[in-house]
Amino acid sequence: MSDQTKAAPSSNPTVVDDPYKRLEITLNPNGSLTRNPNRFPNTSATPDPDPTAPVLSKDVTINQTTHTWARLFLPRQKPLDTKKFPLIVYYHAGGFIHCTAASTIFHVFCSNMALELQAIVVSVDYRLAPEHRLPAAYDDAIEALLWIKTTQEEWLAQYANFTTCFVMGSSSGGNIAYHAGIRVAEEADGLRPWKIRGIILHQPFFGGSVKVESELRLVNDPVLPPGVGDLMWELALPIGADRDHEYCNPTTTKGSNLMEKLAAVGWKVLVTGCDGDPLIDRQVELVKSMEEKGVKVVSHFRMGDHHGVDFMQPDKANALFLVLKDFIASATSVTL
């Protein structure tokens, strides 16, 4: 595995075409977005499908006022003994501005993850920017964790092992998982007997005011060009915040000091990525900063590939699930 490639940046970088057009969004005068409703199709939950279906799913309300909810995924085949399933709380991708827990790409991903890892997955639907700028998504993420701790929801009460919980997110969801993890770490003792064992940052979305090498090298990336990422951050960050705000850049002085909270609780952190992703250098830098702060962090960086590849290629997703399975096993063996 290679942490990153060192190919020289393009000598003639070009500016991405209109990022609004690329994202299929229109910014309205009131600050809201009009999104193309057909860009990310949805899939309905299947609480009791054909008996041959390996995974059940259903939607549950978290907060009626903020209209937040979650989709639960439960393997149909239950353990033969009294052992319960580990619990994965998942935050979807979408650059903070797109998608829901019902988006087909995340429904399929979470369903397959529940099956391959033999885990219950709680996929959280959080409020989107710019209608609800950060930290709204972080607030929703924390509320979901507290809801899980206290709910009497049938699937969770009967089948989830609350002493083996993992907080996970992909891309912008990885950013949310990271910040939610830091915030909840401050109250870790109050979560008992519920135990978070680790945090999984799957191709997490971070940035900064100065472009790093991978962003320059992949300026024309067809999946997530830095110009598109810039617009996502512009729409997601609090008004007036720059790109070195700790929400975006966790390696600044203020951001890196927050990492100490993860070190204090002893949770393991997994960071995954690939060197065909413009975000790779940000992810590598995050791992190094965590190591310096004493966080129990491991990384898995692949050669080639691109941002979001695990949602598009089943073989890549299966390879990721093997990494997650090993990480969960190692984190579960640690006594907290």
Contacts for 12 with CB less than 8 Å, ≥ 6 apart: none
Nearest to 47 by CA among 67, 72, 70, 64: 72
Strand partners, 268: 198, 296
Name the catalytic one among 171, 172, 214, 299. Answer: 171
Q: Are strands 68-75 and 120-125 parallel, antiparallel or unpaired?
A: antiparallel
Name the residue among 136, 150, 123, 168 with its Cα closest to residue 65: 136
Cα angle 276, 282, 285; round to 5: 120
Please state, in angstroms and rounded to a whole number, the distance separating the CA atoms of residues 148 and 41. 27
140 classed as catalytic = no
307 carries an active-site annotation: yes
Q: Which of 139, 277, 305, 310 is catalytic?
A: 277
Owner of token pair 């089948």: 159
**Please, which residues have CB within 8 angstroms of residue 247's CB and are 6 or more apart in sequence?**
134, 135, 138, 175, 179, 236, 237, 238, 241
Residue 333 annotated to the active site: no
Alpha helices in the chain (DSSP H): 19-23, 104-117, 136-150, 154-159, 172-185, 188-191, 213-217, 226-236, 253-258, 260-265, 280-292, 309-312, 314-332
CA distances from 168 to 90, 91, 275 (A): 5, 6, 21
* Spatial contact of 215 and 278, defined as CB atoms under 8 Å apart: yes
| Cβ atoms 72, 160 nearer than 8 A | no
Token look-up 């650059």 returns 95
Q: And the tokens for 40?
A: 């990310």
List active site positions: 171, 277, 307
